Amino acid sequence: MKLLIVDDDALIRESLSILLGLEDDIEVVGTASNGQEAYELCITSRPDIVLMDVRMPIMDGVLGTKIIKESFNEIKVVILTTFKDDEYIKEALKNGAEGYILKNQTSDSIIDSLKAVIKGNMVFEKNVAETISSFMREDNKKSPTDYNLTERETDILKLIGEGMSNKEISKVLYLGEGTIRNYITNLLEKLQLRDRTQLAIFYLKNF
């Protein structure tokens, strides 16, 4: 996993670079102090995942996430936050971030989160997930029934929103992974969404 660390605090950047770089399967390919630098490093270094702070000068993590995802949708972005700015987190979610973790976590917890995101999951610290779900529901203009989802489609959408992988969903619902993939394809077509991240956002907005 090639990792880019973005934070305007030099001590945090260096500490994370050292701690996370000790992992055999993590290669820190660069560090940046704002979203603009992160975008430029994505062009040259092509990381698999970006660990992105929110509040930074020149370009914050919200806009940084947006421009990275618009140009490199395959690059995963995980927001690293102190959880004081709900509006920042809300906008980062809309811009395509795959995870939201807190700065007071242990390095092992951060590593586990990054590995989960690389596998295709979304990662939310519990309090962050609850807050995101709350303010997304407040913004919602439609009822979930307006989308004509079947009970099984709703079950799968819920589990995607909770960050489960296809393998995990198949175990919970006692269905084959191929069947789960077919359901997800149907959900994307029915809801006119692009990818798994947007399905998770849809779930948080409507359930």
Per-residue pLDDT reduced to its tens digit, 98-119: 988 888 888 899 999 999 999 8
Tell me the CATH number for domain 141-206.
1.10.10.10
Determine the pLDDT at residue 64: 96
Predicted pLDDT of residue 137: 56
Helices (H) and strands (E) in the chain, counts: 10, 6
DSSP letter for 183, please. H
Q: Given pLDDT bands bounded at 50, 70 and 90, which one contains residue 142?
A: low
Instruction: Estimate to the nearest angstrom the gap between the alpha carbon of 207 and the chain centroid.
Output: 18
CATH of 2-136, one of 3.40.1190.10, 3.30.565.10, 3.40.50.10260, 3.40.50.2300: 3.40.50.2300
- Find residue 17's DSSP bridge partners: none
Please state the separation of Cα 178 from the chain's center in Å.
Answer: 24
Q: Which residues of 32-47 are buried (b: 16+ CB within 10 A; e: fewer)?
A: bbbbbbbbebbeeeeb
pLDDT(124) > 90:
no
The pLDDT of residue 82: 81
Model pTM score: 0.69
